[in-house]
Structure formats: structure tokens, C-alpha cells
């Protein structure tokens, strides 16, 4: 025993003094108390409490750790605290957006809202509803249908074009043409969405007459925004397919195009599909391009090739900016929030679907 | 079924870089030919010219002739895809297709080329190829599981099964055992000895004992220095190369005084 201790003190010790694990919650509790005190001095508010507590905690934990555990541990604790704080700050907008959309949107959201359109709903109904003489009516079925049709069409245009472009870039493109395409795809990524909308609007004006607005024009506008996203994400996915698999197929005497269709694409399909889903999520909430191409309507239109077509973003915009009843705008605002909630749900669902797709289609290891 | 290969005056380039210079050699049918030599001397580059796989790397080119039973692989009207159907290849790292089951991996050369085949016929091919690759006993109960679920040695034998399923005339192997453990290596060496009955086999190896064990003839490649082209120094019966080589460089290499 004694020999043992002697041997240990002679060599460099492998252990050093450590703060107990419970120190973090303890210091945190003390910091929040101190933060509350300080916040009371400057006039109490929740943000002030959060910020002051965070500052006190950062200083306290670093100092305590510096005294007990030494410099390296103290720096580690400081940086850990900063990283967590940055994460919390980044989360604030997300949580507050979700919170306010839920809080305001749930007032009108429901099966009735998703199943009815705005046809024949007037400001008078809204006034009666507020006065308690009539029911709250009017929904976003037409907008939901429009968003679905326009996005589906945009996807049907963008996926083949985008996927084939990325196949060209990865499998065939060498030299100047490929460089030029890559450059223009980058430029397209940066196009402001209103410009895409105006492009589609003027294209349809030239082809079918000035003032032509329909769902298809909206789909073309969205494709302009969607194609570069699809090209970029598919390109990345195709690039990470190992070259060895291509060579294995070539060595079996499989022609290049069939290697691409039967080996490269299936290997990359999970990434491509989830990239496409994210691209859809990206354009489904686009407002400006749809306002100038698909227009507004209060009725159900299931034909994207003729007449104006409502979409959820346009619905939110018109309900919020032009309430049906000037004197009682609240029912319109409630509908705008409910439609916004619908959009958020769609986007979140698409993100979840993208993850599911990535998991389901991923090559299985079978272990 | 098996064919001989005659190479004359072959120069192989990556862009402007001459990687292999002036190779002339004969590879006999139904025999095992080993390529040995230090890293970077162009063994992989050269073996890939034998099934026209070299040209899938952009910017590459080949000068000279490669005759497969008298027909020039680099002739003007030759379709590289057809060449590759007759000359199979096994790579250094096992590369089964991750999206396919074991069975589909074996049938890949047939299925990917859209050849139709009755199920019983396909079953025969799968069994024959897997038996040929010494994998049947381990694989027969899990034919529908993904090929990537096998161990490294099993994956490599699966790749061999995949290569022989299309019944090529020649089988090229680029360091097929370098990623494997000694037991899997031994299994593959036994396999090569069996395959030699029916196929012309060319194998690149870093392992001199392996070359001595499996091959009938050995070709020694060397390189004068980095940036220089690799060259064929000499080619002879394996026993001669390892006991009484004609060149000093070969003797230094096989006796371990070099590389
Ligand atoms: N894809 C490539 N592009 C350019 N040079 C290459 C490529 N592959 C191999 N080389 C070069 O060709 C030479 C021969 O390489 P390699 O055939 O792989 O040698 P070995 O298989 O004998 O180790 C080396 O100098 C290597 O740097
Ligand atoms: Mg090599």
C-alpha cells in the first residue's frame, strides 16, 4: 500500500481535482437567482432575466472551475457554456414562431376550415359571427387544393429536369459546358422569388396573352426556384456514390447509361428523394411568385390550366392584408393564422417525410 | 472458353503522364499469370487496359495493341462494353452492389444487361457461380440478404462469383487479397487454383509468396523513379523468376533487397 502511494507521487499524476457533477445545476440555480435580482434592478422582464442569468452563470462557472480544476478545464467549461447559449439563441425564433402560429392558428383550424372554401363568404358573415348572430364560416380548401396542384406540377417539371441535369454534371459533363451549367445553376439559386414569378408571368403573357394567370403559370414560376435546388442536392448525392460501384458494373460489361440507371441512381435514391422533398418544402410556402402568376380566388378551381387558382400563401396574404370586413377584421386574421398553421404543418410533415425516405431507401447492410 | 492475350508495345497515359511504357507480353490461356512490382509501377494501370477499363478515367489514352485470341481490343470498331463482357475483373476492395441482395449481386452481370432468364436457370447460375467461388455453403441460406452484410473475405468471393457468373474468357484480379485476412486469402488462392482449369487468370499481387504459390508465370514491373513510366522488366516461368531471374532488379525485388 505504501509502496503503491510512493510510486504514484513520484510519477506525473494522472488525476487532478474535479468539480462534482452536481455543480452545474447548483451554479445554474444560483445564477438564475442572481439574474432575477439584477433584472429587478433594471426593471424585470423575461429576456432580461435570461440574459443576465446566462452572463452570471458563464462568469461563475468559469471562475469556479478555474480555481478548482485549472485553466484548461475552465476554458472547456467557458466554451461549452457559450456553445449551449448560442444554441438556445438560435432556438428562440423557431420556438416563438411555432408558438405564435399555434396560438393564433388553432382558433379557426380544424376539419371545417380544411373542407370549405371562401365562396360566397362575405364581410357580413364575419360581422354576424363576431356579434354572435351567425357561425364562423369560410375555410381554405380551395387554397389547399391549389397549393397541392401547383406544387405537384412544379415537382413534375423540376424533378426530371433537375435530376437529368445533375446526371449530366456528374456522369458526363467535362470541360466548358459543364462549368457553364454549374455556374448558371448557382446563379439560378440566387434568383429572388419575385423575379421567378415575373419571368413566368411574362412568359405566359407572351404565349397566351397579357394577364393570363393560372395554376400552371404558378408551377412554372416555382420550378424556376426548385430546379437549382434539385440539381444541387442530386448532384451531391450522385457524387458520393463510390466510383468502385460504377467500375464494378462496367467490368461486367454493363453500358454506361444502364450503370447509371440501375446502379448509381438506386444507390443514391434515398438522398435524391429526400433532397426533392426538402426542395418541395422550400417552395411550398413561396408567396410572391404565386401572387403574380396564379392570382387569387375564393372558389375551388381544380384545373391548373385555366382560371385563377388560390394557394395557401396567397390565402394568408389576402386574408391578412385585405380582410373581408373592414370593421371586423379579426375573423379574417384568424383564417390567415389557421392557413399559416396549415402551411407550417405541411412543411414540417415534408421534413419528416424526407427523413423517413432517407431511412427507408438507404442501402441496407443486413447486419 | 479461355483465351490468350498478346500485348505488344503498349503505352498507357493519364493525360500527358506516361504511366506505363512499352509493355510486350503474352498471357497464356488456362494459366495464372502474376504481376509483381513495387507500388506505383503501373500494375493496376496496366491490368485495367486489358479489359478497356482504363479509359473510363477521363483524359486517359492507350497506344499499342492488345490481342485477345488474335483480335485487337483497341481496334477501331471494337465496342469496349463487349470486351468487358468477355474479360471479367475483381478489384482490390470488395465492391458488391449495396442495393442488391446476394442473389442479385451474383446475377448482376445478367440482370443489369437486361438478359431475360427463367427462374430455374437463374437459380442454376447462382448456385454454380457461388459454388465456383467457394461461397455456396455460407451463402445458400441468406441469398435474399444484402451483399454488404457479408464479411470482407465473403464479399470478395461474392465479387468473384459475380465475375464468373457471366462466364468470361479471362479473369483479371487486382490485388484481390490485400484487404483480406490470411484465412480468406487462402480460400481465394485455392479458388484461383480451381478457376485456372477454365479461365485465363491474371492476378496483381503485392505478396511474393502468393505469386509463387498460385501463378504459372510471373511478370515483374519496375519504375526508375517517381514521375517515370513503369516498365515490364522481365516475364518468365514463376519458378525461374523466384529462383534464377534474368535481371538483377528482379532478383533484388524478389529477395526483398528492394521495395
Ligand atoms: N487516376 C489516375 N490519374 C492520374 N494518375 C494516376 C491515376 N491512377 C494512377 N495514376 C498514376 O499511375 C502510376 C501507376 O499507378 P498504379 O497503376 O496504381 O500502380 P500500382 O498498381 O502498381 O501500385 C502512378 O504514378 C500513379 O500515380
Ligand atoms: Mg494497384
Residue bearing the bigger pLDDT, B113 or A163: A163
CB-defined contacts A:B, below 8 A: 86
pLDDT digits (tens, 9 = 90+) for A201-241: 999 999 999 989 999 999 999 999 999 999 999 999 999 99
Domains of chain B: 5-255 (3.40.50.300)
Nearest chain B CA: its distance from A357 CA (Å): 15
- B176 pLDDT tier (thresholds 50, 70, 90): very high
DSSP string, B137-203: HHHGGGTTSBGGGS-HHHHHHHHHHHHHHT--SEEEEESTTTTS-HHHHHHHHHHHHHHTTT-EEEE
Q: Give mean pLDDT, residues B15-44.
A: 95
Judged against a pLDDT cut of 70, whether residue B259 lies above it is answered with: no
Query: Which of residues 41 through 60 in chain B touch A, CB cutoff 8 A?
Result: 51, 53, 56, 58
Counting Cα atoms < 13 Å in the Cβ hemisphere of A65 gives: 21
pTM listed for this prediction: 0.86
pLDDT at residue A1, as a whole number: 47
Question: B95 and A242 in contact by Cβ < 8 A?
Answer: yes
Judged against a pLDDT cut of 70, whether residue A8 lies above it is answered with: no
pLDDT digits (tens, 9 = 90+) for A133-149: 999 999 999 999 999 99
Considering the four listed CATH numbers 3.40.50.720, 2.40.50.500, 3.40.50.300, 1.10.3720.10, the one that applies to the domain covering A141-360 is 1.10.3720.10
For the Cβ of B38 lying below 6 angstroms from any atom of ligand 1, the answer is: no
Beta bridge partners of A282: none
Listed by start position, the domains of chain A span 3-105, 141-360
Identity of the residue in B99, B112, B113 whose CB atom sits nearest the CB atom of A267: B99
For the Cβ of B14 lying below 6 angstroms from any atom of ligand 1, the answer is: yes
DSSP string, B210-246: HHHHH-SEEEEEEESSTTSPEEEEEEEEHHHHHHS-S
Separation CA A259–CA A49 (nearest Å): 61
Amino acid at each position: 500500500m505504501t509502496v503503491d502511494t510512493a510510486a504514484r507521487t513520484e510519477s506525473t499524476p494522472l488525476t487532478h481535482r474535479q468539480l462534482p457533477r452536481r455543480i452545474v445545476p447548483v451554479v445554474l440555480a444560483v445564477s438564475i437567482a442572481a439574474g432575477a435580482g439584477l433584472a429587478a434592478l433594471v426593471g424585470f422582464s423575461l429576456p432580461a432575466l435570461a440574459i443576465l442569468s446566462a452572463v452570471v452563470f458563464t462568469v461563475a462557472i468559469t471562475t469556479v472551475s478555474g480555481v478548482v480544476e485549472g485553466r484548461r478545464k475552465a476554458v472547456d467549461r467557458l466554451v461549452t457554456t457559450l456553445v449551449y447559449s448560442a444554441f438556445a439563441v438560435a432556438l428562440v425564433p423557431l420556438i416563438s414562431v411555432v408558438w405564435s402560429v399555434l396560438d393564433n392558428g388553432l382558433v379557426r383550424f380544424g376539419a371545417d376550415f380544411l373542407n370549405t372554401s371562401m365562396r360566397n363568404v362575405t364581410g357580413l358573415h364575419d360581422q354576424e359571427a363576431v356579434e354572435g348572430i351567425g357561425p364562423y364560416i369560410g375555410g381554405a380548401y380551395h387554397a389547399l387544393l391549389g397549393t397541392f396542384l401547383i406544387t405537384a406540377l412544379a415537382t413534375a417539371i423540376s424533378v426530371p429536369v433537375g435530376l437529368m441535369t445533375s446526371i449530366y454534371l456528374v456522369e458526363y459533363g467535362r470541360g466548358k459546358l459543364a462549368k457553364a451549367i454549374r455556374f448558371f445553376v448557382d446563379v439560378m439559386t440566387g434568383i429572388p422569388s419575385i423575379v421567378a414569378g415575373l419571368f413566368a408571368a411574362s412568359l405566359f403573357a407572351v404565349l397566351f396573352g397579357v394577364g393570363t394567370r393560372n395554376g400552371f403559370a404558378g408551377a412554372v414560376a416555382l420550378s424556376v426556384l426548385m430546379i437549382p435546388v434539385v440539381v444541387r442536392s442530386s448532384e451531391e448525392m450522385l457524387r458520393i456514390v463510390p466510383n468502385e460501384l460504377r467500375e464494378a458494373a462496367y467490368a461486367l460489361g454493363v453500358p454506361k447509361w444502364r450503370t447509371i440507371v440501375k446502379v448509381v441512381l438506386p444507390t443514391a435514391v434515398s438522398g435524391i428523394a429526400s433532397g426533392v422533398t426538402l426542395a418541395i418544402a422550400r417552395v411550398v410556402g413561396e408567396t410572391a411568385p404565386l401572387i403574380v402568376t396564379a392570382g387569387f380566388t375564393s372558389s375551388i378551381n381544380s384545373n391548373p390550366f385555366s382560371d385563377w387558382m388560390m394557394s395557401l400563401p396567397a390565402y394568408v396574404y389576402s386574408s391578412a392584408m385585405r380582410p373581408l370586413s373592414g370593421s371586423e377584421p379579426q375573423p379574417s386574421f384568424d383564417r390567415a393564422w389557421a392557413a399559416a398553421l396549415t402551411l407550417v404543418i405541411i412543411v414540417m410533415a415534408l421534413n419528416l417525410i424526407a427523413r423517413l425516405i432517407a431511412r427507408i431507401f438507404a442501402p441496407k447492410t443486413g447486419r | 472458353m479461355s483465351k490468350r492475350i498478346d500485348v505488344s508495345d503498349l503505352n498507357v497515359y493519364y493525360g500527358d503522364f506516361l504511366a506505363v511504357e512499352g509493355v510486350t507480353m503474352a498471357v497464356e490461356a488456362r494459366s495464372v499469370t502474376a504481376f509483381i512490382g513495387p507500388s506505383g509501377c503501373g500494375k493496376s494501370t496496366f491490368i485495367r487496359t486489358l479489359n478497356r477499363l482504363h479509359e473510363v478515367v477521363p483524359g486517359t489514352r492507350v497506344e499499342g495493341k492488345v490481342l485477345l485470341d488474335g483480335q485487337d481490343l483497341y481496334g477501331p470498331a471494337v465496342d469496349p462494353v463487349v470486351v468487358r463482357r468477355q474479360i471479367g475483373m475483381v478489384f482490390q476492395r470488395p465492391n458488391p452492389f449495396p442495393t442488391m441482395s446476394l442473389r442479385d449481386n451474383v446475377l448482376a452481370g445478367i440482370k443489369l444487361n437486361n438478359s431475360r432468364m427463367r427462374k430455374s436457370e437463374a437459380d442454376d447460375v447462382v448456385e454454380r457461380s457461388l459454388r465456383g467461388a467457394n461461397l455456396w455453403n455460407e451463402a445458400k441460406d441468406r441469398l435474399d440478404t444484402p451483399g454488404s452484410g457479408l464479411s470482407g473475405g465473403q464479399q470478395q468471393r461474392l465479387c468473384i462469383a459475380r465475375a464468373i457468373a457471366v462466364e468470361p474468357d479471362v479473369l483479371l484480379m487486382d490485388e484481390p487479397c490485400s484487404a483480406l485476412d490470411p484465412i480468406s486469402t487462402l480460400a481465394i488462392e485455392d479458388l484461383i487454383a480451381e478457376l485456372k482449369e477454365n479461365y485465363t487468370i491474371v492476378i496483381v499481387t503485392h505478396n511474393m509468396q502468393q505469386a509463387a504459390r498460385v501463378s504459372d508465370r510471373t511478370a515483374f514491373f519496375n519504375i526508375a523513379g517517381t514521375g517515370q513510366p513503369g516498365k515490364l522488366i522481365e516475364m518468365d516461368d514463376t519458378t525461374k523468376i523466384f529462383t534464377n531471374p534474368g535481371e538483377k532488379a528482379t532478383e533484388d525485388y524478389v529477395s526483398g533487397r528492394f521495395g
